[in-house]
Chains A and B, each alone.
Chain A
């Protein structure tokens, strides 16, 4: 796996390892952030395939009305676990993995602040994922990923296992967020003020704050649900307050969608300047908008409850905040457009996914504005309009950004280039398949098709047929990527240190980087977006000091 010219050996500390020189090292309890990053990404991608398979079964069932491919009970389990897996075992962990790998190098550190905690976070997430799969074969959580009680108190044992798995995954997420925050705040290279950090680091600060403050609300809700199911408490029963679940759940789960998009925003802010050969437009506003989204993201949750039994008056402030939160996101989109404008665009596969992200995410953002308007939301809540919206932002948005990042950093991580032809095939099949699948769903929802249904009225047949065919194309489009990723490990062109001519710190190291990253602590005197300017004058190295090592290790 390594084409590095360094010969630093993998270290052994008791039963732990640090660093990797062969594929076997990736199956160990390894404290090297680069190894952990790869572990996260591979685990997450596996769950992407599992969740995707579930989606294909769902679309096969829905290809015609009255289909009997799966029973109503199995169908309910399928879409519930599809949602849970895609959110908690794909999008969130894959971003955690990319951040794990890249952030320490971006800020000039030799590892994360707490390497052992980092390794523990990964294995905890994997354990949670395994328990999640076990829950599926014991009846699953057939109440939707949002698990509203009283229904989620009537489902089988799988629901309790699901809740336990989620708690473990939540803890993993919180520990990762603590690690990232301390690393970024405390271990930056000499000269790297906050305003000279890569924007990916800013996005991970915002993401980590959200994880830190939001995930406990979910943990609390799950704890109360488990108590109701196991200890006979009445929190969410008809004698208690089922709406309280919704409030606690959405207090986390709305910020969660920002957990799932902010790292993507960060990745796009890295790829756009590199492949436009221009500095990022409006660095400060992009950085601040990430923080604004993190804060505002906590103030909108009840827009998921507009047609619930919530206090009617309280809906209004939530409508206002839900509308306003579009502003910082709009700032980012316009800034990226302004970066592209007048650039010298290079259409690598990473850039194609970047452009696809901007194009598709804005559609999801626009449908989000519809959802923020209470009278319209009343009509489309819990319909396929919402399914369309969420997939445009999560697939057209997050997943495209993930692929942009994977194509961008694969050479750094493996030392090999991915094949561009297969990459373009992957991109076009994804873009086209994705739109065929999800565009009709806007109309289906508006016309009266609810979500989470095993079958539907005959008038929705054509839209569903089109969506199902698109889904099959979308699934097929993943295969070129898998093939490419595996084959390029051995047959890909050798990447060299900086195949993209990028200015962030990871590209100053070999591909893959040495086990301890920087031989000497780096010093910076500007942000990493100095494209189009003359080369920066070399600054003499700082007096010899140890590179920032993780505290207390």
Chain B
């Protein structure tokens, strides 16, 4: 480990609970997102139970399993980037941020390709019972990944312009991005299990 240098550019403000405002805010926001995905998953399950039992056989499990792995690795990359920030290592932080970005974009690319195959070749559409649930819930999840990738893109650009550094304030900013990203990852694991494996 290189010598750690923590730079404080702002006095630490005491909060009544001891948790940083932004972190608390993100946790609360994720509670909302849990409820939203619960509602959407409920919608999926209602459609699934009315659809024929073999309706999900059109799905490509191996590719999607690989995609799940991609997302999990991207979460690890986020953790590595965060550790680099804590060490004050800007170059390492940037490397792992870009890795996360690439992995996230890969996930989206594979998802979009899967949609293309399902719609074009397997003729699964939103009009079918299974398709109603499948496209809606994976679509919302994909949108959340897209938002995360864009957010990370902005952080990367700011890093390249030296407006995002390893100081305490940006450490917290990246931490809350990480919370969001991990959440999106966990949701995908749940979705993959419910949609593809059951």
Hey, which bits of chain A sit against chain B, CB under 8 A?
Answer: 113-114, 174, 177-179, 181-182, 185-188, 192, 212-217, 219-221, 223-224, 227, 231-235, 239-241, 244, 248, 251, 545-546, 548-552
Contact = CB atoms under 8 A, between A and B. Distances in A.
A206 to B, nearest CB: 14
A552 B169 contact: yes
Given A234-B127, A551-B20, A241 B39 contact: no
B136 A223 contact: yes
B13 A546 contact: yes
Contacts of A549: 13
B161 interface: no
A186 B28 contact: no
B15 interface: yes
B40 A220 contact: yes
Contact of A221 (B15, B39, B129): B39
B158 interface: no
B21 A114 contact: yes
Given A186-B19, A215-B32, A232-B127, A224 B24 contact: no
Contacts, number: 130
Contact of A186 (B15, B43, B47, B126): B15
B25 interface: yes
B190 interface: no
Contact of A212 (B31, B42, B128): B31
A549 B11 CA distance: 11
Contacts of A215: 32
A182 B126 contact: no
A213 B36 CA distance: 9
Contacts of A251: 39
Interface residues of B, number: 41
Interface string B131-153: 11101100010000000000000
B47 A216 contact: no
Contact of B125 (A182, A224, A232, A248): A232
Given A217-B39, A220-B39, A223-B140, A235 B32 contact: no
B60 interface: no
B21 A241 contact: no
Given A185-B16, A241-B46, A552-B21, A178 B129 contact: no
Nearest to A241: B46
B22 interface: yes
Given A234-B47, A239-B50, A551 B40 contact: no
Interface in B35-79: 35-36, 38-40, 42-43, 46-47, 50
Given A235-B46, A235-B47, A550-B21, A182 B28 contact: yes
B132 A240 contact: yes
Nearest to B130: A234
B50 A188 contact: no
B146 to A, nearest CB: 16
Contact of A219 (B21, B36, B129): B36
A153 to B, nearest CB: 13
26 contacts: A178-B32, A181-B28, A182-B25, A188-B16, A212-B28, A212-B31, A215-B32, A216-B32, A217-B39, A220-B40, A231-B126, A233-B131, A233-B133, A235-B136, A239-B50, A239-B129, A240-B46, A251-B39, A545-B14, A548-B14, A549-B13, A551-B13, A551-B15, A552-B21, A552-B22, A552-B172
B132 A234 contact: yes
B87 interface: no
A233 B127 contact: yes
A132 B12 CA distance: 43
A227 B24 contact: no
Contacts of B50: 239-241
Contacts of B15: 186-187, 548, 551
Nearest to B176: A552
B17 A113 contact: no
Most buried by A among B19, B35, B140: B35
In this complex, which of A182, A188, A248 has the most chain B Cβ atoms within 10 angstroms of its Cβ? A182
B39 to A, nearest CB: 3
Nearest to A186: B15
Nearest to A213: B35
Given A227-B132, A240-B47, A549-B13, A182 B40 contact: no
A215 B20 CA distance: 25
Contacts of B89: none
Contacts of A227: 126, 132, 136
B17 to A, nearest CB: 5
Q: Which of A178, A215, A241, A550 has the most CB of B within 10 A?
A: A178
B149 to A, nearest CB: 20
B65 to A, nearest CB: 26
Which of B29, B43, B125 has the most C-beta atoms of chain A within 10 angstroms of its own C-beta? B43
Contacts of A546: 11, 13
Contacts of B22: 114, 551-552
Contacts of B140: 223
